[in-house]
Chain A
Amino acid sequence: MKQFQYIRPATQQNVLDAITKSGTKIIAGGTNLVDLMKRGVTAPDKLVDINHLPLKGITPTKSGLHIGALALNSVVSENALVLQKHPLLSLALKAGASPQLRNMATVGGNMMQRTRCTYFYDTTMPCNKREPGTGCGAMEGYNRMHAIFGASQQCIAVHPSDMCVGLAALDAVVIIAGKKGERRIPFVDFHRLPEDHPETDNHLAKDELIVGVEIPDNNFAKNSYYLKVRDRQSYAFALVSVAAALDISGGLIKQARLAMGGVAHKPWRLYDAEKSLVGKAPTEENFKVAAQIAMQGAKAYEYNAFKLKLAPASISEALKHAAGVV
């Protein structure tokens, strides 16, 4: 690992000043960044530690719930307000990583984690995300874990987070601090598709800092579920995951939210499938129709064709759990 500087600026403003220089990286829990540094995937000159900033709070706002960027994944997953208002987020968090990692990982850091594509991690392999212009090792390689939606000729990697799938489904908003003050963007617009620039995972500018997320109040708490299908029962990335949230009233679905993990470069919202459910009864037949709608435009590669079957099966299964019709 390359020698690097480590600083811990006193205030958020000091952090914003420090990160403007190239070669700097913010470190919070470090659960992904340190791995990447050890593997030589990234080699910052300077780490800016933000763990001491007052961004850990989980507090109700006028119309939602604010979760600080430095709130630990383990703390968020057990928080009473989260469990009461957004149990889906708790389920998603607990489906990710291991208890040890969740005790270190933060909300902001979770959003910033890089893909787990094996070609990205192995510096002897081509990877446009790690080293633009070298090619995509996965496209014609072992792409069992890779994208079926939104991939480009440059990159077919997927975003590995579970938490982000939950937040995408819950219409969360990301609060970002920069030199000119704060801006808010929808969570679904935070991450981006690879297109011609797979090296850029999201829309956070170099000189910006995630300070928190806000989840608007909703009526999904009674009928939501996070289903993660993986190669072992814990501590494995998703083959496919589904966040499903339903607002059911009078035997009909008033609103639906669906997002998938393990299928795209970003948490993948299933807007058309959601729309198809509105006004319908929460039945397995309707869920299957929605799942089929969700699969429009899916494209598989040599080793991940199973996702074309597993994804709709999982959507339908997650909706059944959310609706309590299992």
Chain B
Amino acid sequence: MEDKISNKNSSKGPSRVDGRLKVTGAAKYSAEYALPGMAYGVLVGSTITKGTITSIDTKKAETAPGVLAVISHFNCPKVPGYDSADPAVKGPLKIFHDNKIVYNGQPIAVVVADSFERALFAAALVKAEYNAEKHHTNLKDNLTKAVAPHDDAVYSRGMPEAWKTAAVTVEQEYILPSEVHHPMELHAIIARWDAADKISVWDKTQGVKDTQSNIAKLFGIPVDNVQVHSKFVGGAFGSALQVWPHEVAAIIGAKVVKRPVKLVLSRADMATSVGYRPHTWQKIAIGASADGKLVGVVHEAAGQTSTFEDFAEGPSDVSRQLYACPNVSTSNKMVSLDIGSPTWMRGPGPATGTFALESAMDELSYKLNIDPIELRLRNYAETDPESGKPFSGKNLKDAYRLGADNIGWSDRSQTPGSVTKDGWLVGYGISGGVFGADREPVTLTATMMADGKLVLQTAVSDIGPGTATAMVAVAAETMDMPADKIRFDLGDSAFPAAPQQGGSTITSSVGSAVYMACRDLKEKFQQLIGNGGTDKPDYAKVLKQHNLQRLQVTADSKAGKEVDTYAMYSWSVHFVKVLVNPATGVVKLDKVTCVADNGRIISPKTARSQIIGGAIMGIGMALMEEAVIDDRYGRVINSNFADYHVPVNADIPQIEALFVNKPDYNINPIGAKGMGEISLIGMAAAVANAVYNATGKRVRDLPITPDKLI
């Protein structure tokens, strides 16, 4: 048998296997289940930012119609995982654990009632008294307190000061505001205690196995006694990679009222309860020779975290490896503030980092008077500048060429503000994106059923990209059978182990497992058939001939020695054409072209959708997204969709998604790498660079709103 999938790419590929379910509303999300006897939980949030709770008046709430329980730290049953944790070690918020308030909006109580409306009404009746203390929520004012979370967060090769000696230098600061994930589906959980030591949850999560083990640990019960169901997830972008306090609150509530409890966060809760991309300050110092060769780069980053949890992305890491440069120093620091904890959000690290590095590269290109693409080609890294290893697969030059042709890069003027169309300024911008390509361990079963249908099972989630669709495509190709005879089961902890859906690893990881399982299953069939079998056996017939109900194989897939041999990344290049109104500063995108260099494209339709989705999220990052805290109160003041802007259809131009589509068999047997992150990473810089090309105005603090351009 071949040790890699054949490279016959279908231009069209399969349609979403769950597309019909989703557009007809038949796909059932966590909040949509109705269990017998179900009650409803609503959280009460702190209205101060730091201090202690002195009292909570729950009498009015407790006597309100339909209320079953009001739970706070005064009466919360013990959570074994909280009590066994070392109090000196930082970690996720322990809900209802003590009287301490560590951020504004922190849940201080949960009201459980027999209807959602009654719980909501009663929650408004809970009144807490506090001892407020002085709080700090402003990143800029506290930058001097930035610390590195661990040794790897600081990196240096060559001479840190080398950039200063270069013929041409750029030294600038870049600011990214905090962004909220705001997936369309609100976070929701239904928790049911099946026995004193058995729990079932229907939960929005990016990893059913991780949720299972975390709940088991928190409540001190065996892992197998926790069942996690998460069949459909309506977007998450990183917000559902961990067990958050509201999930614990629902499980506690269910225990107290002895009924299943549903808890759905409000849109406002989403801004404070399930993480966010940290507001980050960055500084880039970059130097190049007159002919555009990089001499040195210094990239510093400092982002927000909470006081109770250490979290730092790696924004500056992109500067270690995006370009060939002998002298590079980077650091990723964090500033502890009286705010909720940030978390991973699509493209964590490089999404923030490329805004700084790729903006600075653009600034450098104008100072050097070299075309921005040409500048990038002059510093093209043929091998990984950080490790010296060869890349498993890199075809970025193809990506530059494809994108430049598609957007009409030759129409770009090197002189900013020099091109107008119908009174609007016209500009073009480019930025690269990069994200590590991994292959995680996966166990997966492939079962040929008596009726000739193939069932694949593993405990991965699908938060929206179309995982099952891509996996069915891999199986159809490997088994040489029609896709409509294949079912891919996911989103349940009862299935064999799979990683969380995060970090653009699933197609590579699960896809490889699907390929291995199907390859082994096919081999088993060939053994049954013996010599003289055809390439395309009738599987049902073979099972019948051998009097078998089914034939099953289990694949254990994981990375091998190749991880020591190669540096593995997915790449992207974003091209943007903007129109800017010189009078009002309004930016309109005219065209966007995204090119991904991420190995073989398994499922062209869903790949295209994923690139478009990431690009739109990047456009939001560039032009409008910004969570605002009023530092006087320490409170997020735009926790709703009227004030926190995400792009609407009118903001989005034609987006072309192009793929280099060259298999990378050095990483895995299917030659495919992820694209969830690279679809977004770089987009903000591409827009900012296009705006500069149009106007001559360099915006270094996102988002680029009209007021910054007049």
From A98, A122, A140, residue with most partner B Cβ within 10 Å: A122
**Known A-B contacts A122-B635, A239-B706, A310-B585; A233 and B423 likewise in contact (beta carbons under 8 Å):** no
**A interface, over-half SS:** loop
Q: Which 4 A-B pairs have the closest CB atoms?
A: A306-B707, A233-B650, A234-B650, A124-B47
User: A interface vs B, CB < 8 Å?
Assistant: 1-3, 40, 98, 116, 118-119, 121-122, 124-125, 137, 140-142, 144, 227, 229-237, 239, 306, 309-310, 313-314, 316-317, 326
Query: Are B650 and A229 closer than 8 Å at their CB atoms?
Result: no
- Could you count the A-B residue pairs with CB atoms below 8 Å apart for me: how many are there? 84
Query: Are A231 and B635 closer than 8 Å at their CB atoms?
Result: no
B649: contacting residue among A122, A231, A234, CB under 8 A: A234
B651: contacting residue among A233, A317, A326, CB under 8 A: A233
From B423, B643, B703, residue with most partner A Cβ within 10 Å: B643
22 A-B pairs whose Cβ atoms sit less than 8 Å apart in the complex: A1-B121, A40-B124, A116-B643, A118-B638, A124-B47, A124-B633, A125-B635, A140-B632, A141-B632, A142-B628, A231-B706, A232-B647, A232-B651, A233-B651, A234-B648, A234-B649, A236-B645, A239-B706, A239-B707, A306-B706, A310-B585, A314-B583
Q: Is B373 an interface residue (CB 8 A)?
A: no
- Chain B positions within 8 Å of A121 at CB level: 640
Q: Find residues 593-647 in chain B having any chain A CB closer than 8 Å to their own CB.
A: 623-624, 628, 630, 632-633, 635, 637-638, 640, 642-643, 645, 647
A326 to B640, CA, bound (A): 37
- Chain A positions within 8 Å of B567 at CB level: none
A231 to B588, CA, bound (A): 11
From B584, B637, B642, residue with most partner A Cβ within 10 Å: B584
**A299 → B minimal CB distance (Å):** 17
Query: Are A232 and B624 closer than 8 Å at their CB atoms?
Result: yes
A230 to B635, CA, bound (A): 24
- Chain A positions within 8 Å of B584 at CB level: 227, 229, 310, 313-314, 317
**Known A-B contacts A118-B638, A122-B635, A310-B584; A2 and B623 likewise in contact (beta carbons under 8 Å):** no
From A116, A144, A306, residue with most partner B Cβ within 10 Å: A306
A317 to B638, CA, bound (A): 30
Query: Are A231 and B624 closer than 8 Å at their CB atoms?
Result: yes
- Chain A positions within 8 Å of B649 at CB level: 234
- Chain A positions within 8 Å of B623 at CB level: 231-232
Query: Are A3 and B121 closer than 8 Å at their CB atoms?
Result: yes
Q: Is B117 an interface residue (CB 8 A)?
A: yes
For this complex, into which size category does the number of interface residues on chain B fall?
35 or more
- Chain B positions within 8 Å of A239 at CB level: 706-707
- Chain A positions within 8 Å of B79 at CB level: none
Query: Are A229 and B586 closer than 8 Å at their CB atoms?
Result: yes
**B649 → A minimal CB distance (Å):** 7
From A137, A142, A326, residue with most partner B Cβ within 10 Å: A142
Q: Which residue of B lies closest to A98 (CB)?
A: B648
Q: Which residue of A lies closest to B639 (CB)?
A: A122
A118 to B630, CA, bound (A): 11
A227 to B649, CA, bound (A): 19
Query: Are A233 and B630 closer than 8 Å at their CB atoms?
Result: no
Q: Which residue of A lies closest to B628 (CB)?
A: A142
Knowing that A125-B630, A310-B585 touch, tell me 8 more A-B residue pairs with CB under 8 angstroms.
Answer: A118-B637, A122-B635, A140-B632, A229-B706, A233-B650, A234-B650, A237-B642, A316-B583
B630: contacting residue among A142, A234, A237, CB under 8 A: A142
**Known A-B contacts A231-B645, A232-B623; A313 and B710 likewise in contact (beta carbons under 8 Å):** yes
**B618 → A minimal CB distance (Å):** 15
**A3 → B minimal CB distance (Å):** 7
B645: contacting residue among A122, A232, A310, A314, CB under 8 A: A232
Q: Is B120 an interface residue (CB 8 A)?
A: yes
Q: Is B307 an interface residue (CB 8 A)?
A: no
A116 to B584, CA, bound (A): 22
A275 to B124, CA, bound (A): 52
Q: Is B705 an interface residue (CB 8 A)?
A: yes
- Chain A positions within 8 Å of B638 at CB level: 118
**A285 → B minimal CB distance (Å):** 15
**B44 → A minimal CB distance (Å):** 12
- Chain B positions within 8 Å of A122 at CB level: 635, 637
Q: Which residue of A lies closest to B647 (CB)?
A: A232
- Chain A positions within 8 Å of B637 at CB level: 118-119, 122, 125, 141-142
**A40 → B minimal CB distance (Å):** 6
